[in-house]
Amino acid sequence: MAKKQKPTLATVWLDGCSGCHMSFLDIDEALITLAEKATLVYSPLVDNKEFPRMVDVTLIEGAVSTDEDVAKLRKVRSHTKTLVALGDCAVTGNVPSMRNPFTIAEVTDRAYIENATHNQQFPHLTLPKLLPWVKPIHAWVDVDVFIPGCPPTAKTILYVLTELVEGRVPDLSDKSRFG
């Protein structure tokens, strides 16, 4: 009889502070239990450079603010069975979307000219193209599970991952909130 393969997990971050990934790491010892039930195949926390062909569950932290974010998000969605918006930035745009009232020129001038003491210039070759509006991930792709919080608690993240790798749909109605 063939051994059943463990579900695969991935984590990705877009425009955010990485606080949701820190909360994921705050699962602490339960990461060992989770690793017995699922295999982490892609993450900024591991060395794999290419997103796999298919992943069972992917957590995405951060909002969509650049052309690279859109491309990455669309690739991840097409290679993921269950996509999870992790944290308020992924769910609503949150802090990254605070730039939305301003033009790209205003934002980049402020960052690279007005606030720079030395070498006042826009780094054209090294930055992805900013989109006119920062948006949550569901504005670009279908999302299966939303985990609000800034960041969500480790307990909530563990609950969602445990439910998903066990094949259940998590009920977050009493487990998570915005902010």
Residue 3 pLDDT > 70: no
Categorize the per-residue pLDDT at 124 as very low, low, confident or very high, splitting at 50, 70 and 90: confident
- Unique residue bearing structure tokens 């979307």: 97
Give the Cβ contact number of residue 144 at 10 Å. Answer: 15
Residue 178 belongs to a domain: no
What is the phi/psi pair of residue 116, to 5°? -90, 135
pLDDT in tens, 48-82: 789 999 999 999 999 999 999 999 999 999 999 99
Pairing of strands 8-13, 80-86: unpaired
Domain that holds residue 153: 8-46+53-99+130-165
Q: Domain containing 77 — which CATH number? A: 3.40.50.700
Question: Can you read off the two tokens belonging to residue 76?
Answer: 């991840």
| Burial per residue of 148-174, b for 16 or more beta-carbon CB atoms within 10 angstroms, e otherwise | bbbbbbbebbbbbbbebbeeeebebee
Please name which of 26, 48, 87, 55 lies closest in space to residue 164, comparing C-alpha atoms. Answer: 55
Residue 26 belongs to a domain: yes
Residue 38 pLDDT > 70: yes
User: What is the mean pLDDT of the segment spanning 118-139?
Assistant: 91
| Burial per residue of 84-117, b for 16 or more beta-carbon CB atoms within 10 angstroms, e otherwise | bbbbbbbbbbbbbbebeeeeeeeebeeeeeeeee
User: What is the mean pLDDT of the segment spanning 15-30?
Assistant: 94
Task: Supply the pLDDT for residue 179.
Answer: 61
Residue 113 belongs to a domain: no
Per the structure, the count of domains in the chain is 1
Residue 34 pLDDT > 60: yes
Categorize the per-residue pLDDT at 2 as very low, low, confident or very high, splitting at 50, 70 and 90: low
User: What is the mean pLDDT of the segment spanning 162-166?
Assistant: 96
User: What is the mean pLDDT of the segment spanning 125-139?
Assistant: 93
